Structure 1
Amino acid sequence: MPEISYHLPSRPLPQPRESTLGYLLRLGDRNGHRSLAWVAQIRRQHSRPDVTLNQFLQLTTGHPEPSLHQIYGPSLPALQPAPSHLLGLKTQFWNSEHRRWCPACLRESGYWKAEWQLTLQIVCPEHGKLLQEHCPGCHKPLRWHGGELFHCFCGQDLRQARTPQADGPLQALGQLISAAFVTATGGEPAATALQQDWPSEVATLHLTRLCELLWSLGCYATFSTVTKPQKVQRHHHLKVLLPILANTARLLSNWPAVFDTFLQERVQPGREYALSLRQFLGQQLAWLHRTLAHPEFHFVRQELERFIALHWKGRITDRHHFISHGVKQRHPVISVVEASQQSCLSRDKLVTLVQQGALQGWSADHHGRRDFLMISRTSLEQFLLASGGMLNLIDSAAYLGVSKGRLKLFVERGLITPTYRPSGGKNDPVQWMFQQQVLDTFLTSVQVNAHATPDCGSLISIDQICRGYTRNGAGMVELLQAIQQGDLKMIGHNPAKVGIGGLLLSRQSFRHWFEQRQPEKTVFSLAGAARYLGIKEHVLYWLRDRGLIYDWHQAESKRMTSVHKETLDQFRQRYVWGRELAELSGYGRQSASRALINRGVWPVSGPRTDGGITYVFLREDLEHYLRVERG
């Protein structure tokens, strides 16, 4: 097959970054050919239908191949360009359908720039004006095969067209694309300032990645209701591209706030509780995430994953391969199973904590049914940190120094709020759960410093009050409430006892407070009379049987023995015993009775008198002895 031996008379060199079709048009114009038809004529004349673009140019111009590396963009269908001329861009990002140009640049430089053939380049980066794609005379799109180098087929000079000024965001987008194009062609882009509120990563993207990003963002933002947003008809026309690129510039501005708003608008209300991530994102956002799978789009993926972690109330699992491991580890939502493993709490306890508001939790929506409980990771961590550990009923009672029954009574009376309380018929102490911080707060409200002499006769401990003045713990609750309200003042704490049982009060102030709480009560049962006198019930039985306390009444219907308060007051005024005996005599509580007996003061009841349990003396005998003793 014969070689092409025809060399064009005029063979200008390509200009830097000149359009392939524009160079063919300029080459023909310099040799008297007004259109691109000369290429087909030479190929037919020399019978070389399979020649490539570089081979054709070398044989017709004689230029070496390195000098032809200045041209970029698609060529005629019959002349296959080298891959380096297309810069790795997809076909949709090259506009070979019709011409697009800047009249001022065409007038100044005299050649067609390859940058104008980029589908997404609609602004001249030098003049800031929209590119022209319609003939100013006939107002029709000008194809590469129609018209001359600088004129339309209607005769209109293309260099005389007037184009409107582009707005600021579109100009910034045009400069960004131009800089990426210059970099992709091995040049040094002019220094242009990136918009301050745009992500800095877009300035470092390769041209191929930049076009994919701008196209994806613009299409998904413009065609929100379309099933396949990137399938856009007539996408090479400015009328179609303008709203797409305007939305792209809007998403990149004020990054990532506007992008976050865009994502929120795409999520349907109520989908944040969807169990499936695909249901939450919807079809469009799921496709967008797959479209931006290249590593260079990491900054967009990070924002999308951050949005998922912030707004999706579902659980990210290992099957979500497209989400980074770090996001999975930091995702603020975990299942109730994971929460149970981390906290060592049963699922029932976690459900109760969510119902009580101690934990943040919700049920994920799965096919219309909400039966998958999700827990907020942050609320669980804060709960465990604030609780400082969880204690069951047995450990909590030991921590406070009270019995399990009294601790339950504290709960019933509102002094302590448990974190978890068994419901129904469950009464296992292990099922109860208290936060240690709550117990510490309760102790702090009644706790004081240790007392140097806790056995002093003028003091009385909570433990002694419970044994001598209360029954079933009811009085203890009232006592603690009086301490918290300031009605009773704490003197100190017995360091030998744990919890609230070792708290010390003034005996005199306690008796005054205790008696004031019973002013309206004139009749006491046997147990109430014992509490009123501060003695044990079996001692009261003995004193009653010996006739020291009389005037008892038997109710026939209730079978209950009662006594009037006046009778008890008379008994207290006439007799003295126990701690009061030690206080008046000046002896110790254990030795007061023996010392008085040795000094001739004989009790009316006691082990050495009538076999009684407690020594009881006449107050008159004791006062007489003290007067004589003190002279």
Structure 2
Amino acid sequence: MGSLLLTTMPRQDETFTSFLLRTCQENEYESLSWITNLIGIDIRQLAKPNPNKFNLEPLAQLLRIDESVLWSLTFHNDIKFFESSGGPCSFKDHANTEYDKICPVCFEGDPYVKKVWNLKINMGCPIHSLRLINKCPKCNKKISSIRSDINKCNCGFKLIHLPKIHLTDSEVLHSKIIANAFFGKSLYEVPGNSPIYQLSYYSLTKLIHSFWYRINDGRNGIGINQINTENQKVFEQLIAVYNMFLNWLCNFKNTLNISDSKTFIPNIKRDFYTKLSDPEFLVFIQEFRSYLEKEEKRPVIFRNFNTESKLMSLGNVIKLLNMGHPSINNLIKNGILVEYKQIHNDSFSTRSITIESINKFLEMKKYIVFKKELANSLGLTTKHINLFEESGWIKRIEIFSEKNDKKSYYDIRFGDKLVSKLEKNIIMIPEEKSKEPTFISFSNFHNRAAVRGISFIELIEGLLNGAVNIYKVKGSKPFLSYYFELKEVLSYIKIYRYEKFLESKVSLRNVEVCEVLRLSPYQLTSWVRLGFLKNTEKNTFEYQELKVFVDQFVPLNELLKRYKTSYANIANALRKEGIHPVSGYTVNEGAGYLFKRTELDKHNLGIPKINLKERVLELISAEYRNKSDCYVSFLRD
């Protein structure tokens, strides 16, 4: 067998498959199958190089590298250790081989996969304080170690674009502990002097694996071999295992004290005396024995609790509220939970929370919901909740985390109060009636209003003020069960637009202007074409433009209204005075006569100007003349 044209040397801390992928890339091979075909093995065996089933000698010859160097890139030593020691977990629970975990920043600078990343109990990169990513954001699958390109997922996604999720200082500490133990030297500085810092990598692994099952519902919980770095709950559980042995001995005692399981301490005792009986764990075993002795001889003390000063340990609070340390710290930071620190004689401190603040928070928590939950309870979408928030109707609750749209909380009582006001004068109807063409749903009403320039908030304000009767069918969420009479909806939209027009906040359409000026659409269109009246790009008319028009011109129909005679008589009388129309039969093919006001005023004809506001109010009154006084007053206020 020959050798490859180009060979490269592996990194000291590189994985086996990462080195092979880089070698393929160097030789411009399309995939790892080029190498496996040359040495006659199944490509799937590369992910699980077990020395009992796998021979690396042909590969070593092909790559011109010593076989022992290749084995050092695998987890061969770990396999031998777990098989010989009968440790608490198998090799498949110990490290990833079929899938890679990656630090995006490390990978961007030098694209190769580090062995320490693929350890199951390692979740972060201590260099850049980032979460290790093991799932592709494009295909949502784990990043396979057997892929075509070292730089890409099998779906084609470039791994340098993986998301950068920052870790807290305490989370980074755990990765530093793992890295120091894995390389057998103090690569990273760690605070304090916990005995966990002195453990070898293999002993650390045994310790973490053993206690993982003790604090995570035993074998009934998620197995450590199922750890996913993007599962926040599992991540927090793994951190909780590490935390037991930090701030030694305080955290360990707190964990023992808060457990209400009758089997918890006996199981730990069995672990220490069997699985963890090595000399490296002697300091842990001694402290545990001391704890048991104190428990057996603990005197009975009767206490009179003062409700103003009663405390609960931080561990019990975490368990009671079912939250992680970051969430609890945010509650303390925001003044929701009141913390009490006590310094003990043995120079360590314990963190406690006052019962009073816990009870207040539990009462508050009953009403705290996600944005989506609030929207669903109302029969609306999250976009509508955003509109309520932007308008100041509701405030986001930010006590669990920093501002984050994906973790936005609200008080569900806002929805209850809103519905209570809306349904103050609700009219119940059977579902069959709501399906008649004379009724429309809230969604239909909202769409019609939006097209006419009425915002969602303005529509809700109108409903709260009784502008339109709300009909409701039984058995559905509020806004999904609301129906409205179509004729009332059209009137409401029409009147609302007229009101906004008087405030110069909306423009009117052709038909609406014709109604205000009492003209035909043909007349209006002709005057626009001749330049007497200006419209917008959307072919609508603004209040100020109409005001300028009525100040400068007088339509013939206004003269007819003033003198109550015929078109011919008005035209003849004006012609005798030397007054001629600027638009009309001879000017614009009979599209409508229009006169300049300055010409009429010279002859003191006493033609009053059109009062746009009065015309609009007349239309409003005509539209609602049959409505109640309070209904009309809302529109005029």
TM-score per shorter chain, which class?
Answer: 0.3 to 0.5
Query: Normalising by structure 2, what TM-score?
Result: 0.41
Larger Rg: 1
TM-score, with normalisation over the residues of structure 1? 0.41
